[in-house]
Amino acid sequence: MARQKKLSDAEKKLKKKEYDRKRREKMKNNTESLEKLREKERIKYLKKKEKGQVKPVFHMNARELRQKRKQWKENSKVYRNKKAIAHQNLQRIIDDTPPPSPVSVVQQIREDVAARNRRQMRRRRAILYAKIANLEKKLKNAVKLSEKYKKRYLRMKTKKTDPESPGTKVDAFLKNVNVPESVKKKLLFGEALTRDLETSYKDLGKKHEKRKNITKC
């Protein structure tokens, strides 16, 4: 097996720079990561400003301003030189790197398509899971509401069909007879009162019988 060619310091720096560039591009595409990066840089700048390491231009005197402009020119010159060297090194690496074979290109295309399909599938699955959860919640609420009205209906039905209830007795008594609503309400009140008195009398009789049995013992 051929030994891998050792990279020079310039090539390592170039690769690191390319990696940092891609990472920054990736963070720029992500709004949350970009906001974190900007906040981090802002805090870093404010700390330098508090320590006096950064001085605004409008606070500089003429001598400091000349020195600052001179420093800007030097930094610009260094940046242009570094960029030219990096471009030359990158071009040299590209020239030394053999072109990819058609098989590897096809394989890369297949892998990219498969990765894109997997991402789309994950997004669709997440959307479907969210819809299912929402439908399950709605179904649960609908079932609870249905049970509530079912119980209410059964109570009303039982109350209406009870032959001993005041309403049933009054309806039977007034069958085929038209009377004012006020009269019907009074009859209902009378029936309800009579029923309560009968129930109270029965309970009183049971208590009296229970006391007699206790006294005999």
In this prediction, residues 46-65 reach a mean pLDDT of 78
The more confidently predicted of residues 98 and 183 is 183
Does 120 fall in a domain?
no
Does 175 fall in a domain?
yes
Does 18 fall in a domain?
yes
pLDDT interval class at 96 (50, 70, 90): confident
Does 217 have pLDDT greater than 60? no
pLDDT at 208: 60
On average, the pLDDT of the chain sits at 78
Which of 69, 99, 129 marks a domain boundary? 99
Greatest distance between any 2 Cα atoms in the chain: 121
The more confidently predicted of residues 214 and 49 is 49
Q: Please give the tally of structural domains in the chain.
A: 2
Based on DSSP, count helices (H) and strands (E) in the chain, helices before strands.
Answer: 6, 0
Q: Is the alpha carbon torsion for 183, 189, 192, 194 positive or negative?
A: negative
pLDDT at 212: 63
Does 189 fall in a domain?
yes
Residue 91 shares a structural domain with residue 170: no
Does 50 fall in a domain?
yes
Residue 168 shares a structural domain with residue 89: no
Which of 99, 122, 138 marks a domain boundary? 99
Does 86 fall in a domain?
yes
Dihedral of CA atoms 111, 112, 117, 119 in degrees, nearest 10, equals 110
Dihedral of CA atoms 108, 109, 115, 117 in degrees, nearest 10, equals -160
- Enclosing domain of residue 77: 9-99
137/142 Cα distance (integer angstroms): 9
Report CA 106 to chain centroid distance, whole Å: 39
Which of 47, 74, 99 marks a domain boundary? 99
Does 194 fall in a domain?
yes
Does 150 have pLDDT greater than 80? yes
Does 132 fall in a domain?
no
